[in-house]
Amino acid sequence: MSIQTIENRACVAFGIKDVRHVTQPLAYSPEEQVLVKVSRGGICGSDIHYYQHARAGMSILKNPLVLGHEFIGVVEAAPAGSHLTAGQRVAINPSQPCNRCPLCLEGKQNLCRGMKFMGSAQFNPHVDGGFRQYVAVTEQQCVPYAEHAKDNVMVFAEPLAVAIHAVRQAGDLVGKKVLVTGSGPIGCLVMAAARSAGAAEVVATDMSPRCRELALQMSADRAVDPTDEAVTAAWGEDGGYFDVSFEASGAPAAIASTATFTRPKGTVVQLGMGHATVEMPLGLLLVKEVKVVGSFRFVDEFNTAVRWLESGRIDPLPLLSAEFEQTQVVEALEMAGDKRRAAKVQLVFA
């Protein structure tokens, strides 16, 4: 196996408020890996957390980490015998499951304990992400898409995959009344995916008027301030109004409210990652037989997300607030971290 090294520029997190655009050579195996020239990346909550706090949830930054798990690019070189060809545009699935453990063999690769998820400090050594000029990935990680599709749309494949997985966790949504608490990018993509999956009514909540406006643009029928009790009181009457609640904020009050607003035999899907421990009215869940399920990343929904974006079935562009050159990664992270100004911020790579 030969190893080749090329010059590369990368957006690297070194510590709290210390992200730098640096030269960092890339070593890869041309016989086994696909070399992709990255064209665009989307900044996600975890990238912002690594920048602001040097940690994201339970993943703590111990060594420098190339940020980014939402990115697309163009195939520069593929190994002999690969189905990919140079010049092909591809969305990159950042998941690298071990494909050997019992969970992987059961098709639950998102839960693999040996998962090497790109741009994550979940395990040590960390797995570098895609915010760099070039990445080396496996052929299975590359999902080609049509020429007509726009890059600023296709880079939403990863967060949309998260949303589609959450919708799947809820089961059949046809004709259902759906609540989504939290109207950030993931919440809004869940609204669009739930609508696409046949939900009859989609209601969003968020404290921010700007986020509520985005929810309406992303196909919510109504967007409500959760502190507006004149409206929300009715959702708790008769045991609860919604068949399915997706909790995408991670806020303790929102999490607890799903127990009240979800009707008996309904389902709560938890996506928001906030405090590790929150209070949940268990008695209410018990007497209503409400099912609470977690939703973590995605499996084959990544391919579905690419197809839904490519075909225009879901238009994520209302969520795109701004784009920056890769050298302006700090400005981009600052803006993405300011929820009053931005939903999704993208980086453009040269």
Identify which of residues 104 and 305 has a Cβ nearer to Zn ion in the complex. 104
Please check whether residue 342 is in contact with residue 331, taking contact to mean a CB–CB distance below 8 angstroms: no
The CA-CA-CA angle for residues 116, 112, 73, to 5°, reads: 40
For the bound state, the minimum distance from the C-beta of residue 260 to Zn ion, rounded and expressed in Å, comes to: 29
Q: How far is the CB of 283 from Zn ion (least distance, A)?
A: 35
The answer to whether 39 and 323 have CB atoms below 8 angstroms apart is no
Q: Which is nearer to Zn ion, 99 or 124 (CB)?
A: 99
Q: At closest approach, how far in Å is the CB of 163 from Zn ion?
A: 10
- 110 or 267: CB nearest Zn ion: 110
Of the candidates 100, 186, 104, 86, the residue with the CA atom closest to the CA atom of residue 142: 86
* DSSP, residue by residue, 295-324: --S-STHHHHHHHHHHTTSS--GGGEEEEE
Q: How far is the CB of 293 from Zn ion (least distance, A)?
A: 20
d(CA 163, CA 169): 10
Instruction: Write out the DSSP string of 189-233.
Output: HHHHHHHHTT-SEEEEE-S-HHHHHHHHHTT-SEEE-TT-HHHHG
Q: Which amino acid is at 326?
A: Q
The residue (of 17 and 113) whose beta carbon lies closer to Zn ion is 113
Rule CB under 5 A: which residues touch Zn ion?
44, 97-98, 101, 104, 112, 114, 159
Nearer to Zn ion, 98 or 322 (CB): 98
Least Cβ distance, residue 58 to Zn ion (angstroms): 16
Nearer to Zn ion, 74 or 98 (CB): 98
- What is the spatial distance between Cα 131 and Cα 42, in angstroms, rounded to a whole number? 9
The least CB distance from residue 112 to Zn ion, in Å, is 3
Q: Closest separation between CB of residue 154 and Zn ion, Å?
A: 14
| Residue 186 beta carbon to Zn ion: minimum distance, rounded to whole angstroms | 8
Q: Which is nearer to Zn ion, 22 or 101 (CB)?
A: 101
Rank residues 104 and 333 by Cβ distance to Zn ion and give the closer one: 104
**Residues 6 or more apart from 120 whose CB is under 8 A from it?**
46, 56, 59, 65, 69, 126, 127, 129
Distance of CA 347 to the CA centre of its chain: 16
Query: Which ranges of the chain would DSSP assign to H, the alpha helix?
Result: 45-53, 102-105, 151-154, 157-170, 185-196, 209-217, 229-232, 252-261, 282-288, 301-310, 329-336
